[in-house]
Amino acid sequence: MAPFRLKVIRTMFSVGERVAPALTGRAAFELFCRTPNVKRLTAGERRAVSNAVDFMAEARHHRLKTGSGCVAVHEFRPEPGRARAGTVLVIHGWRSRTEYMRALIEGFRDADYKVVSIDLPGHGQSTGRRLTMVSAVEAASQAAQWFGPFEAVIGHSFGGAVAVNAAVGSIDGLQKLVAKRLVLVAAPSSLPLVFDGFSQMLNVGPRSRTVMAGRVKRIAGRPLSDFVGDRQLAATQVPTLVIHAPDDREVSAEQAKLYADAGPHVELYWADGLGHRRILSDPAVVERAVSFVEPVAKVALH
């Protein structure tokens, strides 16, 4: 966000906190949910999308109807004639899309998995300009109905938090997503902390934050304080691999430590020096993710 624009917004929220917190709270929540314009890509993003044209042409493309619009689903199948190890679901993060998950998708496909990757609402080839945890979990739930059950769900950043919430059935009215394992790459654990960071950046005051939390409860059916990933994982016992870089500047490594403390069913793998996005294309990270899921599939095949 441009410095001048950020300064103006911070001033508006400061004034609004004093005179109309109900209004500024709703406005802050809508701004929090607003997704980037998919037509306004950075040079690096355009290059990544362009380099993935042939890769995306290999997929079968589907569109699933959800309450927030149409979600694009991309289905990558193993080479013909090779036995399938099962199906995995891949979920990207905020300001991301299937193309950026290419290395992980290819790693699992080369290991004979069918890979289903969704573009979350407001991202990639999906419709809309708004994304919430509710609409993200609904998208994953729809994919599960059509392509599940899954050997594993692999999520990066916000997509990792979506994977956890889908697996525990945190959204009222949506069934739990069935997955034997979870792989969380650079994923935040605490949604309340994400809200706090956003609110601090935009100078959203305490009364306005209370309104924001109320919006979460209204659409999700439960309070914001319930959306804490390490507590959710502790209650599920789904074997989980957490992959994180200590130098991640977007999602603190402390979030990975919280996940790891959820119980003995959670493994932590440190990907030193890979930050928040380079971690997705690292061969060792891909190999670790695939090897974590593979034992389950091999047992099922025998």
Residue 263, domain CATH: 3.40.50.1820
Please tell me the number of Cα atoms within 13 Å of 195 on its side-chain side: 25
Average pLDDT in the 164-189 region? Answer: 95
Number of domains in the chain: 2
Residues 208 and 78 in one domain: no
- Region of 203 please: left (phi>0), alpha (psi -120 to 50) or beta: left
183 and 100: one domain?
yes
Same domain as 82, residue 113: yes
Q: Model confidence over 221-267: pLDDT tens digits? A: 999 999 999 999 999 899 999 999 999 999 999 999 999 999 999 99
Cα–Cα distance between 11 and 14 in angstroms, integer? 5
With a CB cutoff of 8 Å and minimum separation 6, the contacts of 157 are: 92, 93, 94, 96, 185, 186, 187, 188, 250, 251, 276
Alpha-helical segments (H) within 94-170: 102-110, 133-147, 158-168
pLDDT tens-digit readout, 36-80: 998 899 999 999 999 999 999 999 999 999 988 999 999 999 988
Same domain, 109 and 233: yes
In a domain, 43, yes or no: no
Give the structural domain span for 13. Answer: 1-33+191-226
